């Protein structure tokens, strides 16, 4: 049987999320190895126009466009995906380890009685199949996992685990119809979305995090400015969130979000284990702390020992200049 690879394409405000393009890029490599096909699965309402975004990255694009799929809910999405997966029988289904992916994939894996590995960070070939790389214990240990192949393998990956390759395919679009079945016992009474222009914290390439050393919420302004210049996001330590200087959704660490941006800058953050567990897979880490013995320097690639208030305005101007040069 052909080992076809499926990628569940996630949308955010009508656009394809970065993590989905990362997974399609990796998925192409896997399908290439197995000489099988890579399918992008695009579901939602008024999404036909979006297919063009994923066509260059996929061999085939399955589109299910249905009014009942306008808002994500596990019940409707799982019922539609179930139909697709039963029809096409893929070898593996990849998705992002995002709020949506973490809600949807386990529900489906249980329905299929399938192997599931979530929050993975890598994938490789093993025997005639695959092995999956997944951190355990907050990143203290890395495990490699194989899965039983008797039904589709479900895997969610942390955003920023893979690079985005330039897409040169022109995937055929296949429109499918499956009923979006609602669970009658669940009624969505409403949503509150803070419409934000900002990138998602977990998907950001650049994160500047403030800790208690920032002294108060007003000092996060300069961090916001730097994040703005870099097209990234501001994060925070738990001490900051507990003090209500920032929202919980900004929290990086064990009890917050796990991030792995290309560049992480921590300012006035001590580097407690609970915090570093959420960011130690960042590609490059910079720490700004006035205490040369702060534990964050054990995790950082580059350190500045100085007062963050003296460094940050200068850093903002310097980064602005690098952006203008491009």
- Sign, Cα dihedral of 25, 29, 35, 41: negative
How far apart are CB 187 and another protein at their closest, in Å?
A: 4
Indicate whether 15 belongs to the interface with another protein (CB under 8 A): no
Element of type H or E holding 103 = helix 99-112
Question: b/e string for 112-149 if b means 16 or more Cβ within 10 A?
Answer: bebbbbbbbbbbeeeeeebbbbbbeeebeeeeeeebeb
Closest to 74 in 3D by CA, of 181, 155, 152:
181
Indicate whether 303 belongs to the interface with another protein (CB under 8 A): yes
How far apart are CB 219 and another protein at their closest, in Å?
A: 16
How far apart are CB 262 and ligand FAD at their closest, in Å?
A: 20
* One residue of 45, 212, 219, 254 binding another protein per CB under 8 A: 254
Q: Which of residues 50-69 bind another protein (CB under 8 A)?
A: none
**C-beta closer to another protein: residue 34 or 297:** 297
| 268, interface contact from ligand FAD, another protein, none, CB < 5-8 Å by kind | ligand FAD
Indicate whether 269 belongs to the interface with ligand FAD (CB under 6 A): yes
**C-beta closer to another protein: residue 167 or 198:** 198
Q: Tokens representing 309?
A: 């208030």
Q: Reduce the DSSP state of residue 184 to 3 states and report it.
A: coil
Q: Which of residues 68-127 bind another protein (CB under 8 A)?
A: 72, 74-75, 98-100, 102-103, 105-107, 109-111, 113-119, 126
Closest to 272 in 3D by CA, of 138, 141, 135, 97:
138
Indicate whether 303 belongs to the interface with ligand FAD (CB under 6 A): no
Q: Which of residues 255-274 bind another protein (CB under 8 A)?
A: 255-256, 258, 262-263, 273-274
Q: Which single residue is written with the structure tokens 């896997």?
A: 30
Indicate whether 307 belongs to the interface with ligand FAD (CB under 6 A): yes
Q: Who's near 50: CB < 8 A, 6+ residues apart?
A: 11, 14, 15, 16, 42, 44
Indicate whether 293 belongs to the interface with another protein (CB under 8 A): no
Residue nearest to ligand FAD (CB): 253
Counting other chains too, the contacts that 295-298 makes at CB distance below 8 Å and 24 or more residues apart are 295/270, 295/271, 296/266, 296/269, 296/270, 296/271, 297/271, 298/271
Indicate whether 310 belongs to the interface with another protein (CB under 8 A): yes
* One residue of 68, 88, 146, 173 binding another protein per CB under 8 A: 146
Q: Which of residues 283-302 bind ligand FAD (CB under 6 A)?
A: 288-291, 294
Q: Which of residues 213-232 bind ligand FAD (CB under 6 A)?
A: 213
**C-beta closer to another protein: residue 99 or 175:** 99
Q: Are 270 and 288 in contact (CB under 8 A)?
A: no
| 240, interface contact from ligand FAD, another protein, none, CB < 5-8 Å by kind | ligand FAD
Number of residues that bind another protein (CB under 8 A): 89
The C-alpha atoms of residue 187 and residue 190 are separated, in whole angstroms, by: 9
Per-position DSSP letters for 292-309, written without gaps between them: TT-GGGGT-SEEEES-HH
Provide the β-strand partners of residue 208: 234, 265
Indicate whether 96 belongs to the interface with ligand FAD (CB under 6 A): no
* One residue of 251, 258, 260, 282 binding ligand FAD per CB under 6 A: 251
């Amino acid at each position: 049987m052909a080992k076809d690879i499926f990628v569940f394409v996630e949308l955010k405000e009508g656009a394809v999320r970065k993590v989905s393009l990362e997974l399609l890029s990796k998925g192409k490599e896997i399908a290439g190895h197995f000489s099988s096909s890579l399918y992008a699965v695009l579901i939602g309402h008024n999404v036909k126009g979006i297919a063009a975004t994923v066509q260059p990255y996929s061999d085939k694009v399955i589109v299910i466009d249905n009014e009942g799929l306008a808002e994500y809910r596990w019940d409707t999405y799982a019922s539609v995906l179930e139909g697709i997966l039963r029809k096409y029988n893929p070898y593996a289904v990849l998705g992002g380890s995002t709020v949506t992916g973490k809600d949807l994939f386990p529900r489906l894996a249980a329905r299929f009685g399938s192997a599931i590995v979530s929050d993975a960070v890598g994938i490789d070939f093993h025997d005639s199949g695959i092995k999956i790389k997944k951190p355990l214990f907050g990143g203290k240990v890395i495990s490699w996992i194989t899965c039983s192949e008797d039904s589709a393998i479900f895997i969610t990956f942390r955003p920023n685990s893979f690079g985005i390759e330039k897409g040169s395919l022109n995937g055929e679009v296949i429109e499918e119809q499956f009923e979006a079945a609602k669970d009658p016992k669940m009624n969505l009474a409403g949503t509150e979305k803070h419409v934000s222009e900002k990138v998602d914290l977990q998907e950001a390439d650049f994160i500047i995090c403030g800790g208690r050393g920032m002294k108060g919420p007003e000092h996060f302004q300069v961090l916001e400015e730097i994040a703005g210049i870099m097209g990234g996001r501001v994060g925070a330590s738990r001490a900051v969130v507990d003090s209500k200087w920032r929202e919980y959704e900004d929290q990086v660490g064990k009890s917050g979000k796990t991030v792995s941006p290309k560049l992480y800058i921590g300012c006035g953050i001590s580097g407690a284990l609970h915090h570093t567990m959420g960011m130690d897979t960042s590609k490059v880490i910079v720490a700004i702390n006035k205490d040369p013995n702060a534990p964050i320097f054990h995790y950082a690639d580059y350190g500045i020992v100085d007062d963050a208030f003296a460094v940050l305005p200068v850093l903002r101007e310097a980064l602005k200049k690098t952006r203008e040069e491009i």
